[in-house]
Amino acid sequence: MYRGKRFWFVALCFCLLIPLLNNSAHAATQPKIGIYLDGKKIETDVPPYIIPKLNVTMVPLSVISKNLGANVNWSQSDKTVTIRHEGRLLSMTIGQNYALVGGQRVDLETSVQAIGGRTMVPLRFVSNQLNLLVTWYQSSQTIMLQSQGGSEENPQENPRENPQNPGSSTDGSLRGAWVSTVYNLDWPSDKSYGKSEQQKQDYIQMLDDLQGMGMNAVFVQVRPSADSFYPSALVPWSKYLQGKQGAEPDYDPLAFMIEETHKRGMEFHAWFNPFRATVDAKTDGLAPNHVAITHPDWIVKSGSKTYINPGIPEARQHIIDTIMEVVNGYAIDGVHLDDYFYPSDGVFADDATYMANNSNGIGNKADWRRDNINQFVKSLGESIHRAKPFVRFGISPFGVWRNQSVDPTGSDTKAGVTTYDNMYADVRTWIKQEWIDYVAPQIYWSLSFKVAQYDKLVDWWANEVRGTNVELLVGHAPYKLGTKEAGWNAAQEIIDQLNYNRNVPEVKGDIFFSAKDLRKNPLGLVPLLQSYYQTARP
């Protein structure tokens, strides 16, 4: 009889412990969750965890008290948490499925919990009550908290101007480097195929090198040729990861890169090559789900490359969908497009598309092509800002919009190619309509190159953004240092360009092409950059 009572007593105790054991197990087995407040990572002594089915993230009370600036009190006697912040008062009690907010009862999906000697509270509920915007990124297991109110500008909308962001420079400017993955130019190396740890260490070393030069942002090419550097439901894995398109690595490169970049307080901008389908015309090495295989009717060959036809509405939407897959799934700071719209050379056979997809009755094909790209840019910008207003959307066009000889409002240049006439990119409209947050023209010429002079082009682009909410970043060409083109015989050329930008208030930052060229220290550029950025104006 005694044995029977003892058995039931033990069984009862075990049943009572199951919820606590389950919660502890969830905390132990779930992927580590990162929490960022206005771009700065929050460190916790107890890892956050998610309650299954409810999808509620629980965090230790110390996150609220130490990082969110709230006054917190825990009453052991009645198991109640009281939180005071900027005149707001809320309380929650273990076992109760409601909270009191200013004395008013508000239902909760789950109550306060006590785990391992720590009091755990529902993060989203508390953050919303404290006027914080909460965004969850599933793929990278990251929670972003953004302050709302208290200033005219949301810090997350322009993180490099946020004083809490350790990646911010002393002069508030963005200092970025493009990281090309196509052809394994910057990262990863083709020698690292199938070696995830080497790829990780190579990326870490590259970040450390760039930050040591003064960079506070990277623009990493995550879609080099209609493929991806992240697990995608829409496009195949890039061949530049494993040596074969569609081959899956044993880690998520994008999630890893974002985490390592944010660890250093640097911004991570996801760079997409929009319309390039392949770097050659071959199809035998493409994965079965590559767009050239699934939609050959969308593909146009021009020169040695193939392109997704911008004139087909469904094709444009497909590209937007692939970009939004990253916007919705990762804690990126920005979406960045390069200048791959229509190709600037070769024949692009789209007469039939023009006839079939011209519902607006546009009278000539050049204007129709520009309208296709305009629709794409407008729709993509709206999609990004609707989903996450703080994610910045920018485009890096070729450095000359139009020559003055063709258009009196163009620049004083004699470029053989222009973005408006050859790539059908009507950048002026994007700026005036404010479909983009910034423009980063590739001004890859020196101050002494008369055909396309650096200072004249900076002035022209500054005039274009003046009076709008579109910022100007300038693309620089350290890869040209040491070449025979006029003006590139000394690294001081880059410093002179940066000094020129100081006197143009519209210039809000610089991006260098590319990471590998900076790391080569061409003509002794690196120490000059370090010295320049250390003495940049406050």
Contact 512, 471 (CB under 8 A): no
Mean pLDDT rounded to a whole number for the chain? 87
Interval 458-468: pLDDT, tens:
999 999 999 99
For the residues 220-246, what does the mean pLDDT come to? 97
pTM of the model: 0.72
Domain 174-535 bears CATH identifier 3.20.20.80? yes
**pLDDT value, residue 85:** 82
436 three-class SS: coil
Same CATH fold assignment for domains 34-147 and 174-535: no
Distance CA 43, CA 380 (A): 35
Assign domain 34-147 to its CATH superfamily. Copper amine oxidase-like, N-terminal domain (3.30.457.10)
Distance CA 232, CA 242 (A): 16
- Return the domain boundaries, the chain: 34-147, 174-535
Higher-confidence residue: 220 or 30?
Answer: 220
Interval 145-199: pLDDT, tens:
766 543 333 333 333 333 233 333 445 689 999 999 999 999 999 999 999 999 9
CA neighbor of 71 nearest in space, from 80, 81, 84: 84
Interval 110-152: pLDDT, tens:
888 888 778 888 888 888 888 777 766 554 466 777 665 433 3
**pLDDT value, residue 142:** 67
Contact 233, 139 (CB under 8 A): no
356 three-class SS: helix
How crowded is residue 346: how many other Cβ atoms within 10 Å of its Cβ?
13
Interval 42-72: pLDDT, tens:
888 788 888 877 778 888 887 877 777 788 8
Beta-bridge partner residues of 178: 219
Taking the alpha carbons at both ends of the chain, their separation in whole angstroms is 82
Distance CA 412, CA 313 (A): 36
Interval 415-444: pLDDT, tens:
999 999 999 999 999 999 999 999 999 999
- Which range is least confidently modeled, 9-18, 110-119, 135-144, 393-402? 9-18
Contact 219, 180 (CB under 8 A): no
Distance CA 447, CA 455 (A): 6
Distance CA 199, CA 301 (A): 33
